[in-house]
Structure 1
Amino acid sequence: MTSASEASGATGTPAGDVVVELTDVHAGYLPGVNILNGANLVARKGELIGIIGPNGAGKSTLLKAIFGMVNVRAGDITVNGESILGLKADKLVQRGVAFVPQTNNVFPSLTIEENLQMGLYQNPKAYAERLEFVTGIFAELGQRLRQRAGSLSGGERQMVAMSRALMMDPTVLLLDEPSAGLSPVRQDDAFIRVSDINKAGVTTIMVEQNARRCLQICDRGYVLDQGRDAHEGSGRDLLNDPKVIGLYLGTLGTDA
């Protein structure tokens, strides 16, 4: 397995294709306490990146660090070659970064349509065009635009949350546990939708507890442990790596 810094130049991919890069990032919520302890990650244009690891490894914290929700104390995070450290959420959205949290990710009192409109508040004139794109992936939402989000199932809410994030035509989509709390059938549907989003051209970084399923669909994966990237490789390579199997896949996401 290679480190993230080695991977950034190992494939010969032009540097201009790098969408998101984390370099030796240290970050945490409380003063003097880091959750990330030198994390590295590279996501290139069009890639689907999976992040797995044990509970408390810093997976969700990594996404929140990218989206400016955690204090980054050292290292750098760039999007399209420019540092985004210190930027607020609205500025990050303008830079093409979209984030779907694990919970509380829809406005339950609003309709599906109103939720989608909230996702496009910075560019409302593009609503018709973006709605066509989103309903091309989530066709059922286009038939239920007037339904309140609070009446939807967990899987349906997840669709609305991802759709709202896509309304601003993001460069990169950050997904925190998209299958969490869903039934097995809905989990499979969530992973299919994530693949569809990525195939539509959106670079995607996904944190997942269902490690096996995540690695099955991602181009490359990172295994986080104690706030560091312990392993990195293609999804297939990680699925078949004895160390990853013994240390992580044995207790994570046992669904094949």
Structure 2
Amino acid sequence: MTTERVLQTTDLHAGYLPGVNILNGCNVHVDKGELVGIIGPNGAGKSTLLKAIFGQVQVRGGSIELNGQDITGLKADKLVSRGVGMVPQNNNVFPTLTIDENLQMGVYQKPRMYKERLAFVTDLFPELGKRLKQRAGSLSGGERQMVAMSRALMMDPTVLLLDEPSAGLSPVRQDETFINVAQINRAGVSVMIVEQNARRALQICDRGYVLDQGKDAYEGRGRELMNDPKVIELYLGTLAADQEKAKAAPQP
């Protein structure tokens, strides 16, 4: 069976300051229907990768392709119209607007899609349909994430980019958010998710990448990466230390 590749970066170099790259040859891809996780230590370039794909960071080398077409350097509005959705980590809803108004903002380029896409997201998240007139600023952190993801889905994206959707949430709200991400993926949306909560993210991902110093250091199936000794040494170091302590402890 032929695999359809929806998103791919090749030897990607990008950064914020002149002469200083955060990404140093990053190669990742997402196939149709996949949920792909990006993990790694702080400063590895995870969020920078998403911002580079979404035209928010200068790309200085390499390429980005969407459905086989070069999209390197395109601005966010062009990327949205071509099928890239993005949910940033911070400031991802308009707090003074209602849920309904937030969703309308998501489809501003093609307002005629509104009714069809509203039906899609409220079928996916029925709770939204009951609270459309509620202001987004009155929602919990997890509920705001649901609204932000739903707004990004309003343009029917080919791939959805999520930047640390569980950040700052309580454990219960984190679980709800990961369930929502998996639900979006099951609905047929390809997803790339950056997460600091690596273990939880890898549990729901088809595949994952570990970034280190702006490069893709390791790739594998989600659950396999959780138990890979090299990944544990590089990123899940606390887990490795705990395992060593357990081995050294006297046995009852």
Scaled by the length of structure 1, what TM-score is found? Answer: 0.91
Say which SS state the counterpart of residue 235 (structure 2) adopts: helix
Match in the other structure for 1:39: 26
Match in the other structure for 1:52: 39
Matched letter for residue 76 of structure 1: S
Match in the other structure for 2:8: 21
CA distance in 1, matches of 2:6, 2:205: 16
Matched letter for residue 116 of structure 1: L
1:119 and 2:112 are equivalent in the alignment? no
Give the structure with higher Rg (CA).
2
Match in the other structure for 1:137: 124
Match in the other structure for 1:188: 175
Match in the other structure for 2:53: 66
Give the deviation of 1:34 after TM superposition: 0.1
CA distance in 2, matches of 1:249, 1:199: 28
What root-mean-square deviation, in Å, do the aligned CA atoms of Structure 1 and Structure 2 show?
1.1
1:218 to 202, 205, 222: 205
CA distance in 1, matches of 2:145, 2:169: 9
2:191 to 189, 198, 204: 204
Scaled by the length of structure 2, what TM-score is found? Answer: 0.93
Matched letter for residue 139 of structure 2: L
CA distance in 2, matches of 1:147, 1:101: 22
Say which SS state the counterpart of residue 205 (structure 1) adopts: strand
1:246 and 2:238 are equivalent in the alignment? no
Match in the other structure for 1:152: 139
Matched letter for residue 106 of structure 1: V
Match in the other structure for 1:81: 68
1:236 and 2:218 are equivalent in the alignment? no
Matched letter for residue 14 of structure 2: A
Deviates more, 1:180-189 or 1:239-248: 239-248
Match in the other structure for 1:99: 86
CA distance in 2, matches of 1:226, 1:218: 22
CA distance in 1, matches of 2:29, 2:107: 27
Match in the other structure for 1:3: none
1:90 to 77, 92, 105: 77
CA distance in 1, matches of 2:161, 2:234: 26
Give the deviation of 1:122 after TM superposition: 1.1
Match in the other structure for 1:166: 153
CA distance in 1, matches of 2:73, 2:132: 36
Give the deviation of 1:13 after TM superposition: 4.0
State percent identity of aligned pairs: 76
Matched letter for residue 54 of structure 2: F
Give the deviation of 1:251 after TM superposition: 4.1
